[in-house]
Amino acid sequence: MDLLASLSTGTGYWNPLAWLLATVIAAVIVYLVWRRGESGYKKGTAQTTPFISGNPEPGKEMVHVRASNLYWGYLDALKGYYELIVPAHTGVVNDYVLWYLGVTAMLMIVVVVFI
């Protein structure tokens, strides 16, 4: 068993260790570039205080973007899809059984009738 072997995907190859090496080299380059940056940054001074048009900074619990506010655009764009798919998840076990029986019946038609 060769631990270092590349993963064969049938049409190509993938070597995670080579990828890791490339990532480390890229990280070193990024670090070297970062070191050439501004060194006057001081934590806890006005430099690190958010500037909100002169208004005071709100409380910490107020600035965290909660899960409900994420991907609003995505959900709005696919509203039509979600209006169909979400109500199908009724939470009623009778519906779950009906779906199961429906799929069984459909497969029965496909396999028994058409094969």
Distance CA 21, CA 27 (A): 10
Residue 39: CB minimum distance to another protein, A: 26
Q: Which of 38, 45, 60, 87 binds another protein (CB under 8 A)?
A: 60
88-107 residues near another protein, rule: CB under 8 A = 88-91, 93, 95-97, 99-100, 103-104, 107
30 binds another protein (CB under 8 A): no
Helices (DSSP H) in the chain: which residue ranges?
A: 16-35, 60-63, 72-77, 79-88, 93-108, 114
Distance CA 21, CA 17 (A): 6
Tokens 């190859």 — which residue? Answer: 13
58 binds another protein (CB under 8 A): no
Taking a C-beta distance cutoff of 8 angstroms, is the pair 73, 80 a contact? no
Distance CA 100, CA 27 (A): 51
Q: Which of 37, 40, 59, 73 binds another protein (CB under 8 A)?
A: 59
Sites of contact with another protein (CB under 8 A): 1-12, 14, 16-17, 19-20, 59-61, 63-68, 70-71, 74-75, 78, 81-82, 85-86, 88-91, 93, 95-97, 99-100, 103-104, 107-108, 110-112, 114-115
